[in-house]
Amino acid sequence: MEPIASVILISLVVSGVMVSIAYRIAKRRAQRQVTGTLRAASAVVASAVAAADSVDALKELAQDLASLFEADACAVVLPDGSGTLRADPVFGFPDEMGRTIRTDEGLVGACFTTGQPQVVPDVDKDPRYVRWLADVRSLIAVPLRYKERILGVLNLESSKRRYAEDDLAILVPLADQVAAALENLELRVAAEERAAEERALRNDLQAISAVVLAGVASASDLDAALHSMIKEISARLGWESLAVVLYGEDGLLYTRAYFGYPVHSTVIAFTPGVGIIGSVAVTGEGRLIADVAEDPDYLDIVANTRAEMCVPLFSGTKVIGVLNAESPRPNAFDEGDFKMLNTLGRQMAVVIERARLADIEKEALRLLKEADQLKDDFIATVSHELRTPLTSIKGYAQTLLAREDQLGSQDRSDFLKIMVRHCDRLARIVDTLLLVSRMEAGEVGSKPTYSSVADLVQEAIEAAGGDDRIQTEIHPRLGLITDQFKVHHILRNLIENACKYSPSSVPVSVQAVQDEDVVLIEVLDGGEGIPEGYEDRVFQRFYRLSEPGQASTPGTGLGLYIAKRFAIDLGGDLWVGQPRQGHSGARFVLRLPALPAEFAPSTVRIAGSEQ
């Protein structure tokens, strides 16, 4: 028995040793397999991190991991920020699958919520499983953890292999590497986006700077400034069509500078509130339109237009126009383009206002020079007007003194009458100057009283010298409630001028009628008339048609200025009317408010009395 027991003991010892050796060999093989799998998986992850395209890299990662772990499908499941998880990228799942799951749903949701791996050898025995593939037998889901943050879930599903806890030895460190790769990819994408934004911002700033410089360089000329800016924008941004449309003095919108538009579209006057341009000009709110065919406001002016964006141009809070861009391509403009157009519009509005201020300054300087010239002309005219009667008065006075014994009583009387007439002329000049001074100071008030128009005209004729050439045609019952002094001054000035500028053989006509709610008084002379283009200038202060000091007809250039001011003060107006047919002389029309209807005579319209 002893030899047999010894043999048995030896056999058992040898078997144990062989088992131990076999176990160690198997363990080493398993470790080498795990190490090899980890090395291969790490290489896959490293390849994904190094890839230039993050989306393609993640898709390739999912495919390689599925191959390493004998999975039918593999997905990197990430939160989308709305309480759901989205499987993207994926490998092996059908494209038509929704690929979304709630964070509290299924094994994947449990893995993400708890941060614990989910190993399911048989998915049919786990009610939490949400089936995405028909033949799947086993699932393993591992959290993607980076610095205590759960970024998502690495999910593998297989119909060939049953996953076990041992697989976590490979997948957990691998998932950490995937999480680090995702974080690096996200940082790289964010850095690339920031770099792209900075490049775009630099380009935008360069474009804006170039536009502003182009506008400033021509700021003294608005049209030149606009064309320079439009040309610079189009060259730098590559937009197919661009136009500046500004309000005109008539309230319509006109194209002032453009690029890329057919000529016929640039001569159209846009109505505020009509079309996209008109709408933006009225509301002050920009429009970005992906396809104008779907916008009811679009006016089909340029046939091939598909996309359009339009922004208002502001001066303070007032819209002065719009900046409009169009393209033949639908969806040609994005929010970035729209933002750029708004920025350019703000800069362009500043340049436009600078150019307009420069124009105003030019006009102010022109008017100032004109006022200085008028002042000089006035001084020359008044000096001449004062010197003439003074010279006459002095001459006659010296003659009386030198030849007192030789002159008869009739001669002395005639000389004195001439001296008085010249004194009256001097007094009228001084009175006119004082009247203008009082008028400019607002010291000439109005005292309305009832007056007969016929009486007012007759008094003015007598004050003007009672020339027998004057013919009147006035309704006898025509009356006014007005300031007699001002009306007398207006009529006397018009009648005196008509007599002075009419040849001695040509009659002067004064007509007065009521036309609806106004009284129209016309004074027509037989002179050369008012040259075309000077109808408004003759009412300017100090203005005379002839050169100062050289006029054959005396005057200070203040009479019509005062008459116009008085007419407006009385609620009426005074203007140069169109010459009558067959009549070449000047025609002045005075309009004053009529009496109420119950006091007015039958109305008779003066032909052509309109201004």
Q: What are phi and psi of 541, to 5 degrees?
A: -65, 130
How far apart (Å, rounded) are the C-alpha atoms in residues 548 and 375?
Answer: 11
The DSSP secondary-structure symbol of 270 reads B
pLDDT score, position 107 = 93
Strand, helix or coil at 355?
A: helix
Taking residues 552-580, report their average pLDDT.
80
Q: What are phi and psi of 141, to 5 degrees?
A: -125, 125
Unique residue bearing structure tokens 């400019």 = 440
Length of the chain: 611
Q: Where are the domains of the chain?
A: 22-190, 204-353, 448-599
- pLDDT band with cut points at 50, 70 and 90 for residue 91: confident
Taking residues 570-599, report their average pLDDT.
82
* Dihedral-angle region of residue 305 (phi above 0 means left; psi in -120 to 50 means alpha; beta otherwise): beta
* Amino acid (1-letter code) at residue 368: L
Q: What is the CATH number of domain 22-190?
A: 3.30.450.40
- DSSP letters, 174-185, are HHHHHHHHHHHH
Taking residues 583-591, report their average pLDDT.
86
Strand, helix or coil at 89?
A: strand
Unique residue bearing structure tokens 């397999």 = 33
Predicted model pTM: 0.43
Choice among 63-72, 115-124, 218-227 with the minimum mean pLDDT: 218-227
Of the ranges 244-258, 528-542, 594-608, the best mean pLDDT one: 244-258
* Amino acid (1-letter code) at residue 72: D
pLDDT score, position 13 = 54
Residue 420 to residues 389, 393, 397, 417, 491, Cα–Cα distance (Å): 10, 8, 11, 5, 24
How far apart (Å, rounded) are the C-alpha atoms in residues 513 and 519?
Answer: 6
Taking residues 46-60, report their average pLDDT.
62
Residue 371 to residues 177, 367, 381, 408, 430, Cα–Cα distance (Å): 86, 6, 15, 51, 21
- Structural domain 448-599, CATH architecture: 2-Layer Sandwich (3.30)
How far apart (Å, rounded) are the C-alpha atoms in residues 247 and 30?
Answer: 84
The residue ranking higher by pLDDT, 52 or 147, is 147
The residue ranking higher by pLDDT, 580 or 269, is 269
Q: What is the CATH number of domain 204-353?
A: 3.30.450.40
The answer to whether 22-190 and 204-353 have equal CATH topology is: yes
Residue 460: CA count within 13 A, CB half-sphere: 27
Question: By CB neighbour count within 10 A (0-12 exposed, 13-18 middle, 19+ buried), where does 361 fall?
Answer: exposed
How far apart (Å, rounded) are the C-alpha atoms in residues 80 and 86?
Answer: 6
Residue 473 to residues 41, 264, 385, 504, Cα–Cα distance (Å): 116, 55, 34, 20
How far apart (Å, rounded) are the C-alpha atoms in residues 386 and 23?
Answer: 138
The residue ranking higher by pLDDT, 123 or 433, is 123
How far apart (Å, rounded) are the C-alpha atoms in residues 513 and 265?
Answer: 50
What are the residues whose beta carbons fall under 8 Å from the beta carbon of 280, sequence distance 6 or more? 286, 287, 310, 311, 312, 322, 324
Choice among 350-364, 384-398, 451-465, 593-607 with the minimum mean pLDDT: 593-607
pLDDT score, position 486 = 86
Strand, helix or coil at 97?
A: coil
Q: What are phi and psi of 441, to 5 degrees?
A: -85, 0
Quick check: 277 pLDDT over 90? yes
